[in-house]
Chain A
Amino acid sequence: MNGSRSMLRLATAALRQGSSLPGSAGKGAYCKTEFLVRGYAADADAYDKMPDSGKKPDSGEIVVEIPVKFNLHLLESGPPQEAITTKEELMKSYTDMSVIRRAEISADMLFKSQMIRGFCHLYDGQEAVAVGMERALTFDDSVITAYRDHGIFLGRGGTALELFSELMGKKTGCALGKGGSMHLYHRKHNFWGGWGIVGSVPPLGAGLAFAHKYMKKPNVVVAIYGDGAGNQGQLYEAQNLAALWNLPLILLIENNHFGMGTAEWRASKKVTHYDRVPYIPGIKADGMDMFSVREAFKYCKEHCLAGKGPIMLEADTYRYHGHSMSDPGSTYRSRKEIQGMRQERDPIERIRKIILTEELVTKEELKDLDKKIRAEVEDAAAKAREEPFPSDDELFANIYKADSGLVAYGCDRRKTKVEMP
């Protein structure tokens, strides 16, 4: 669409009316589910508005409004409520989020057919957080997260083949098949993992941030945890350390409002996380809106690199699946609520609407892209199935550094001896 503002106004009005575009729910028809009525979601009326976008003529730039206001703590001004984007960025974000979505759906099926064993914590619904974060950071910034790491891994440049191999415990996985779902890593792109214990990540992030600062790198560390970890003691210790030593640490809280099956209002006296610490500033962003997350991250990165110390970033997001594959996810949430989220706040739908409104590509091309992504992800899963498991020597490998620790021998590996260099 080139330029004419009147046509644009008509199109956006059509969007608001919820006309024929896929996934729209009709004006004002978003469900006032229990979840929203409790009031800790951001301004509920904001959901009535669809993302308003306007194209500046002849600049190739698209301006996207961020409908949900940022909540600020100890900050005079926050990120702008408008994001400037381009066709490339929109298409890339759409692709990245769709890959994560399809990968999670594939992982679900693979788990149910027992190709993946152990534990599988799925990320679908939260794609905007991973992708929005990557839009604002570079691969020289470090990211460290807990066990819900499939989306973060893919966002950090991990391939679907590496992901599925690792999930199935195969040799070609990113951690050589020894980590599994909860322990994905990417050395080159500074993705420090995939950690199992709830609450263990913030102190680790503080350590990474100290190293970054010491080496005078223009980079930040993002330590990610969920609302369930918000009540762990080590988090407070890490916050104090980071603030005391002015570390370039962004504490990202992926607040999907349920810690396993416990709703946040039943586990925490204070349900918000960004404003819990009186000496660390915080921002609350809409975690289902990629642009909200992106702008918040840009702001936070600037804040940290200006030497102002750590900052908390709470992303108000939602996971469609349960906590893990052994949790149906519907015993503590109503199906209406989950469906409501899918209809009203789905991050991929939001980007799709912008792309189609701006007529960057046609509907058919977008469908083809969807098919292509689906085929690629399923190919990766099929290929990963054929890969071999790690060999037996891997069992004792890397407990200590090679040639400086334990060597096991004997047919039952019972006898060990110490080998020092």
Chain B
Amino acid sequence: MGGRRASLPLVSRLCTSVKPRNNWVQKRSFITAKDLVVEEQPSGEEEKRAVTNKLNLFSAVNQALLTVLESDPKSYVFGEDVGFGGVFRCTTGLRDRFGKHRVFNTPLCEQAILGFGIGLASMGNRAIAEIQFADYIFPALDQIVNEAAKYRYRSGNLFNCGGLTVRAPYGAVGHGGHYHSQSPEAFFCHVPGIKVVIPRSPAQAKGLLLASIRDPNPVVFFEPKMLYRMAVEEVPVDDYTLPLSSAEVMRKGSDITLVGWGAQLTLMEQACDEASKEGISCELIDLRTLIPWDKELVEASVNKTGRLLVSHEAPLTGGFGAEIAASITESCFLRLEAPVSRVCGLDTPFPLVFEPFYMPTKNKILDAIKASVKF
């Protein structure tokens, strides 16, 4: 039922729009949709997207996986403990619905999970591997860097593993300690051949995950675990994708450009609000895809504002903020009014009790915004 109802009285419309052939037409006691004068319809996508559900991040991911498993019979979801729903409930209900030959547990072997996924994907299947925490992805790093990223390239396009998607929860939760809080995205951003995608909210996560799974290249999809339950948003119920390698401007501004991804954007938004009270107008950009990243949009924004601040949870040295800073300095050097600012985690292993000192908090970001503007 897609039409918007006409606002004029129905009977008069009926008389004007329907040419009576027989008497019996005018005696119809019911009005069908065809009889109504249809005004300018809004575009199909917006109409479809109008139906939404209030979901949190893990439910949005669950919906995306459900959509893929339904639409493509050659798609598989596997990883440690995904059968019962996963430790973050992202895969709840999938095994019951699609069977254990499509949604199945693997033993505790990350390197083998990735290798297995690459093999499965090279035969034309959609292999959606889950690594239980991003901190455990390192045994699999060899398979991702040396096998997945290079397969298409080194075989001259004879073979590829584009159907591979690796999902992993990343980021700090407040009490995670050394091995449940790391942000390893920088390691993967150094590898041409794969894509790295990080959503900031449930609606973004569903669209980006569907796009990542359908992208014909291997994708590493990091989900901010802090937001699994905390972020709640209206998520469209249907199948939709958001474009990869396309950053999104979350709010427009004129004084400084802020670039971030994932859970960090929440803090950056708060810092922007506080900065606007002091008259600083901030432009906030969600990068969404880290490699290949949307350089044009960020450059256009910096050319407008003249200042850049990048923020991420990962340690400062060698983090992805360094790449953005170097790139923008190269292309917008003469336009920059202040050095590129990076507000990141400290250069220590992710600490236990010192987490509040380590994290790039809202005040650190606000401080850096002010310093940049006053440079």
Contact residues of A with B, CB < 8 Å?
117-119, 169, 177-180, 182-183, 196-199, 228-229, 231-234, 259-262, 266-268, 389-390, 392, 394-396, 399, 406, 408, 412-414, 416
Contact = CB atoms under 8 A, between A and B. Distances in A.
A396 B348 contact: yes
Contact of B176 (A118, A396, A408): A118
Given A179-B352, A260-B81, A233 B109 contact: yes
Nearest to B175: A117
Nearest to B352: A180
Nearest to B179: A196
Nearest 7 CB-CB pairings of A with B:
A169-B353, A196-B179, A267-B107, A231-B107, A118-B177, A117-B175, A395-B354
Contact of A408 (B107, B178, B347, B367): B347
B240 interface: no
Nearest to B110: A232
A180 B179 CA distance: 11
Contact of A268 (B80, B107, B176): B107
B222 interface: no
B58 interface: no
Interface in B162-186: 175-180
Contacts of A119: 177, 180
A406 B347 contact: yes
Contacts of A198: 108, 136
B353 A390 contact: yes
Nearest to A229: B108
B364 interface: yes
Q: Which of B80, B108, B179, B349 has most A Cβ within 10 Å?
A: B108
Interface residues of B, number: 33
Interface in B252-298: none
B303 interface: no
Interface string B86-113: 0000000000000000000101110110
B153 to A, nearest CB: 25
Contacts of B348: 395-396, 399
Contacts of B364: 412
Contacts of B179: 182, 196-197
Contact of B175 (A118, A178, A233): A118
Contacts of B119: none
B145 interface: no
A228 B108 contact: yes
Interface string B363-375: 0100100000000
A83 B364 CA distance: 64
B351 interface: yes
Given A232-B139, A260-B80, A413-B357, 10 more contacts: A118-B175, A169-B352, A180-B177, A198-B136, A232-B109, A267-B105, A395-B358, A396-B346, A413-B346, A414-B316
Nearest to A228: B108
Contact of B139 (A234, A390, A406): A234
Given A233-B139, A234-B139, A261-B81, A118 B108 contact: no
A139 B95 CA distance: 49
A392 B112 contact: no
Nearest to A168: B353
A178 B357 contact: no
Q: Which of A117, A118, A177, A179 has most B Cβ within 10 Å?
A: A118
Contact of A267 (B108, B138, B349): B108
Contacts of B354: 390, 392, 394-395
A169 to B, nearest CB: 4
Contact of B349 (A261, A266, A399, A416): A399
Contacts of A416: 317, 347
Contacts of B347: 399, 406, 408, 416
B177 A259 contact: no
Contact of A414 (B107, B136, B346, B352): B346
A199 B108 contact: yes
Contacts of A234: 139
Interface string B315-342: 0110000000000000000000000000
A198 B346 CA distance: 26
Q: Which of B175, B176, B178, B353 has most A Cβ within 10 Å?
A: B353
A196 B80 CA distance: 17
Contacts of B353: 169, 177-178, 389-390
Contacts of B175: 117-118
A178 B317 CA distance: 22
B105 A197 contact: no
A77 B149 CA distance: 52
B137 to A, nearest CB: 11
A183 B350 CA distance: 14
A183 B178 CA distance: 10
Contact of A232 (B108, B346, B352, B357): B108
A164 to B, nearest CB: 14
A329 to B, nearest CB: 14
Nearest to B181: A118
Nearest to A227: B108
Nearest to B349: A399
Given A262-B105, A395-B358, A177 B81 contact: no
A178 B358 CA distance: 13
A118 B139 contact: no
A337 B312 CA distance: 47
Contacts of B109: 231-233
A197 B110 CA distance: 11
A414 B176 CA distance: 22
Nearest to B342: A414
Contacts of B177: 118-119, 180, 182
Contacts of B108: 198-199, 228-229, 231-232, 259, 267
A43 B288 CA distance: 57
A395 B357 contact: yes
A199 B139 CA distance: 10
A208 B107 CA distance: 28
Contacts of B80: 260, 262
Q: Which of A178, A179, A183, A414 has most B Cβ within 10 Å?
A: A414
Contacts of A183: 178
Contacts of A267: 105, 107-108
12 contacts: A119-B177, A177-B353, A178-B352, A198-B108, A234-B139, A259-B108, A260-B81, A261-B84, A262-B105, A262-B107, A406-B347, A416-B347
Contacts of A233: 109, 111-112, 139
B114 to A, nearest CB: 11
B215 to A, nearest CB: 29
